[in-house]
Structure 1
Amino acid sequence: MKSLLAAAAAGLALAVSGTAANAQISDDVVKLGVLTDMSSLYADATGKGSVAAVEMAVADYGGKVKGKPIQVVVADHQNKPDVGVSIARNWYDNEKVDAILDVPTSSVALPISALTREKNKIHINSGGGSSDITGTACSPNTVHWTYDTYALSNVAGKAMVKRGDDTWFFVTADYAFGMALERDAANVVKETGGKVLGDVRHPLNSSDFSSFLLQAQASKAKVVALANAGGDTTTALKQAAEFGLTQGGQKLIALLMEITDTHALGLKATQGLIVTDAFYWDMNDETRAFSKRFNEKVGHMPTMIQAGLYSATMHYLKAIEAIGTDEAPKVMEQMRKTPVNDFFAKNGHIRIDGRMVHDMYLFETKKPEESKGEWDLYKLIATVPGDEAFRPLDKGGCPLVKSN
């Protein structure tokens, strides 16, 4: 009888232990939500390519983590903060999503980050750009993976002012991202010895830039800086060519220019344009191998946002595997203490403010005669180490830095 009781007790203990171990993965599934722009001006840089990047990472990981399935759900936030927050709230409350990824459009990304903190989940942002995400609005539950307005401005702004392009005029998208991009770039220009002669703001998804470009032309600034992205950037560049801005001696800089934008416009229209980027497909064998697979799946080379999402998804899944749970604070801690070493970043690291620090690159678009193929668009001017490219930890106003 004692032997039977002992065996039963041991069996019960094992069962309880096994249940506890299994419960480490909430709801027996790791659920990723890709919240992105599927239908508007950022759809090429994010959209279906962002979804594909996350799905590729999940497939390459084997579709399971700690023996539990990984699921991916997708939604279009339509670049509207209320729509994005509504989707995210439903995902967290009802669909048991563990992490939300991508979220282009900073006016959507910022409230998603706040909601994620409230729900104690994880937000890995690749598409949103505002440096406020790791600044005054930083969160212990958010990682900013790919780029931000500070790095874009810092890398390109310093380089151009130092070579004599020291007076600037901004054409800026009138929402959180555009204003942060102009603010960060203007600060870099002034700190490097240049001057800002003026700015003008345009509505998101504008079709007519004529009045804005005429003001830029009239300013006589050496540099006309486009503090916008996606379809707004390509439309502005096309119309700037029609107005003859560069023929008049002014230089254009697109502070955020994705490779899909350059490809859509063509090298004849973009040759000589200065571009800051976190990723380019033709850097080395690793980047070429990933990009070839991505191109076969999606039909174009990956943008930095899409390449960053693959990297971020892998890092997140490896963190869960390492600690055996998808509990948000523990996963974030593991992600922060693990270096990022893959085709996207070498010796990348996540700071307490959520910034993933990695090298950034300054490119110049090639002349048509220099290109050897459809996607052979850039030549590397400089590699800027992450600690120089991104804002210093103590300069962003993140409350987590003070309390750390």
Structure 2
Amino acid sequence: MTDRIRLTTRRRTFLAATAAVGGLQLSSPFIIKARGETPVKIGFIDPITGSLSALAVSEVESAKWTVAQMNKKGGILGRPVELLIEDSANDTGTGVQKAHKLIERDKVDMIMGDVNSGIAYAIMGVTSDKKVFHIVPGGHTDPITGKDCKWNTFRTCNTTAMDAAAVTGELVKRFGKKWFFITPDYAYGQTLQANFVKNLTALGGTWQGDMLPIANTDFSATLIKAKAFKPDVLLNNMGGAAQINCMKQFVQFGMNKEMALGGALFEIESIRSVPKEAQTGWWTMEWYWNQPNVPHVKEFVDAISPAIGGRKPTARHWMAYVSLHAARLAAEKAKSLDAVKMAHALAGLELPPEVALMPGKIQYRAGDHQLMSDIFVGQVHPPGPGGPDDLFTIEATVPGEKAAGPAEATGCKISWPS
């Protein structure tokens, strides 16, 4: 089946920076539509502009590729898939507005998004009110599948509690219990730091830290404070462009020679953009392209790489790929696009190996709709013999169920429509 790509410009053309990250040139909305019967419409909202754009662009790249491949194999329920991509611009109000537009005007069958946890949480309020099936590929804040969970919402990426639990022990064991946090002051950072502090305190540790704006650019005052505290580990919890800027300044201050570096997420998109001296530390990786003994991983990597400029796919590519296939599997199991039927079908569903692309048993847990995926803990380093994206060595694999703890402990109590 031949794909037809139609560009529709509405209010503005996205910044040229978008094209520089992954070769995308998008307008609002960007639509991929396969020829055929009445399409299944999927709305995909991400911050394609703003400080998290590199992460969002990877998700969008993968979503485009995944839908194209899906349509070649019959789409969803034998119908072509139409992907409507909207830019939240890293702004909650804009994200909510785009969700309303996709649901009320474009009549999408389901929604996916957002990278920004605060926006994902706000969109969840819209999809819950409108009773629309919703998957969050990459927004981590805990309440989405915790105390504020909804029957219609599922999450593919980890919770902040899972990432913090997976790496805390390694950081303490290898470096010590005196930590300094640099954390973004919004939903993701707030829950991530709270989880780290809880885990560290339970191990007898001490800490200091600063909460900073999500798009902060100048970290000098905070780094001076960290330098004076003399921590065993500096945890850089920022994301995207802010994390990159912080890493560069960390090296400029010579702090890479004074203390260990680590945290929850230092994503490949960001590692590529920092000096070699800052390509270091112990972190979690939510998916990694180099899993030589895991079925279908190499097949996926080889297939998608030509579509993303020859680079290796990142965890963000994996999140979008899994989310879209999870929606397909739910619809096929339910034999319907009805949101309630799809949600019941996906709850507890174990993903097949060619979708999971991980060594363990991967499923969307019925109790909280959180994907129980393996978490890779290891070291970031400058490019190795595997090429420019050989930037991480897996040292331990933590099962998602172990990191997450029981669903009952999350505070999630799913209430289904009568």
- Match status 1:290 vs 2:300: yes
What is the aligned length?
Answer: 372
Query: Among residues 76, 91, 96, which one is paired with 2:107 in the alignment?
Result: 96
Q: How does 1:5-84 map to 2 (within 5 A)?
A: 28-47=38-57, 49-61=58-70, 62-84=73-95
Q: How does 1:37-186 map to 2 (within 5 A)?
A: 37-47=47-57, 49-61=58-70, 62-186=73-197
Partner of 1:261: 270
Partner of 2:282: 274
Q: Percent identity?
A: 26
Q: How far did residue 344 of structure 1 move?
A: 2.8
Q: Secondary structure at the match of 2:249?
A: helix
Partner of 2:375: 360
Q: Deviations over 1:16-39 (max 9, x none)?
A: xxxxxxxxxxx9431111101212
Distance 1:155 1:402, change over 3 A: farther
Partner of 1:212: 222
Q: Deviations over 1:181-219 (max 9, x none)?
A: 1111111111233222x1111112111110111111111
- Match status 1:251 vs 2:260: yes
Q: Which has the higher helix share?
A: 1
Alpha-carbon separation, structure 1, partners of 2:415 and 2:351: 21
Distance 1:168 1:356, change over 3 A: same
Q: Deviations over 1:57-76 (max 9, x none)?
A: 22322253223221100011
Alpha-carbon separation, structure 2, partners of 1:107 and 1:338: 27
More displaced stretch, 86-95 vs 161-170: 161-170
- Match status 1:389 vs 2:403: yes
Q: Is the 8 A contact 1:281 1:287 kept in 2?
A: yes
Distance 1:401 1:166, change over 3 A: farther
What 5-or-longer segments of structure 2 have no aligned partner?
1-36
Q: Is the 8 A contact 1:233 1:254 kept in 2?
A: no
Q: Deviations over 1:330-361 (max 9, x none)?
A: 10111113211234344212122121111111
- Match status 1:344 vs 2:344: no
Partner of 1:375: 389
Partner of 1:10: none
Q: Secondary structure at the match of 1:103?
A: coil
Q: TM-score, normalised by structure 2?
A: 0.84
Alpha-carbon separation, structure 2, partners of 1:138 and 1:167: 34
Query: Among residues 300, 312, 324, which one is paired with 2:323 in the alignment?
Result: 312
What 5-or-longer segments of structure 1 have no aligned partner?
1-26
Larger-gyration structure (1/2): 1
Q: Which of 1 and 2 has higher RCO (CA within 8 Å, sep 6+)?
A: 1
Alpha-carbon separation, structure 2, partners of 1:251 and 1:164: 7
Alpha-carbon separation, structure 2, partners of 1:157 and 1:386: 15
Q: Secondary structure at the match of 2:86?
A: strand
More displaced stretch, 357-366 vs 63-72: 63-72
More displaced stretch, 66-75 vs 157-166: 157-166
Alpha-carbon separation, structure 1, partners of 2:93 and 2:346: 30
The one-letter code matched in structure 2 to 1:167 is K
Alpha-carbon separation, structure 1, partners of 2:51 and 2:159: 18
Alpha-carbon separation, structure 1, partners of 2:301 and 2:110: 25
Partner of 1:15: none
Q: TM-score, normalised by structure 1?
A: 0.87
Q: Secondary structure at the match of 1:337?
A: coil
Q: How far did residue 266 of structure 1 move?
A: 4.8
The one-letter code matched in structure 2 to 1:281 is W
Q: Secondary structure at the match of 2:273?
A: helix
Q: Deviations over 1:119-146 (max 9, x none)?
A: 1111111221111211122111111112
The one-letter code matched in structure 2 to 1:329 is V
Q: Is the 8 A contact 1:315 1:335 kept in 2?
A: yes
